[in-house]
Structure 1
Amino acid sequence: MTKKINERIPADSGNGAAFTQYNAVQSPWNKLMSYQDALHYASRFEAVLSAAVAQAYRIIIPDYATRASEMCKEAYGRLYGTGLYYPNDDGFGIHPFMCGSYPGALIGDKGDDALLMCGRCQDFGTYRCEKELDVCDWDICGSELCRATTMSLQGQADATETRHRKGKKLDYMMVEAKGCGDRHCRIIAESREKYPAPEHELWQSFGPAVSDDYKKYTEEEDCVEEPMMFREECNYHFVNGTNNETDSSNQMV
């Protein structure tokens, strides 16, 4: 097999996503874009709107801790309710025999790729999970959003544990953030039974992690710019460790 990577995107990329009758997506300003470019455009545009909302929050709630706390409570509650009452275990590759809150990492892994936040899952186990991201369009929004997104993942993880057999409860933390100037975003989830640490408020979701020495760091030259659904070496499919597989037409489903 050749190691040459073909950067061309298949002609049928996006088929099944309601754009099959078009060769391009038309913007409100009459610009024609490919399906892939349109996703990138929409993602960054959403991040720009989010940055504007974040600025409004800073005016309405000047205190950082109060603002971050409210954002984290909202994110946790919304995603906990979604995960509890509208689960999609099959869609995330969460098997019935899984217990505890570590399967929540599967939700974050697939969601990252669907939102074009490409990277890699560095660890996935009962006591510890680690996800490293190379790209995040929302790095312009501020660290409050970094905290809130971590708590949205905690909410999904806790909801998954509630619906399944009890197991090891993991504490999800962001230990590196592109929104704070780091090369990567990195979330590490740890079982406090194996990795004891003091309790903390919901909004205090930044690291460091107890298992910080176990981090697997990817150098600049090995980082990726596109999610799995747009990469040839992945056969243009997102595939996780539990054999959940999707492509560019249904990755957000």
Structure 2
Amino acid sequence: MWYISALRGDSMPALHSIQAAFMHDVYSGEHTSAVYLDKSKSNSSERLNIYYNNTLLGLTDILAGAYPILQKIVGKGFFRTIAHHYIEIHSQSTGNRHTFGGELGAFLSLFQPAAPWPYLSDMAAIEWAYFQAAIAADALVTDFNSLTNLISERPNFVLLLHPGVHFVDLRFNALEIWQGHQKKEIESITLFENPQTVLVWRDQEDVVLLKKVSTSLKKLLVSCQEGESFAKAMLHVGDRLQDVQAFQQEFAQAVSMGVFINKDGN
């Protein structure tokens, strides 16, 4: 066998110790598990490198699939550098490849080589929300008639967000930059700080859309996400609501766009 139980005195290492060392090497490229290798195999370290390289290539491809615009901005070479450093400290925790890469935005905000591009963490947040919206489960949305009935019949009902709905807080005008990179000919875009919340969702035609939303609608979305009743969520919104009519129009648009489902999913 390639891996053997290396005796240390009268004791043998626990299986989880061998597994932990091997997984560490698979993601870091180190050879800490070499002490457990069959010494009769001269190419054991090379085999470890094969596992590491395959893991690195596979997970880098996953990240590139989830963050195509980010890769387009920084170039494939630097994107690989970002991916390799990210993978070293963020192992794939499940067998579902669609869950890998969600912390890249936070990682980029602290990744010193990316400091010349301070908006990259915003870009990553947009792309991850877009990716998750695209693969989210389907659900029946709430229309105005259903919502009106719920308000009159069940005042304490919970209005839930559609599984494809996400909202991201941005520091820069990253949405404009992201939209600009959807075009074949990328126009010059000036970077500036512009704090905003962007709603990302998949409509009933399976098209992922992005839209800036007000602080008031964000409050409602957060309350719905936390499972509060619709009545209580509206109270939170009303605390500092400046323009009632504008909020009503924005909320009505959100309903028509398929942002909400009710607790029963109908």
TM-score, normalised with respect to structure 1: 0.24
Looking at both structures, which has the greater relative contact order when contacts are Cα pairs under 8 Å and sequence separation is at least 6? 1
More helix by share: 2
TM-score, normalised with respect to structure 2: 0.23
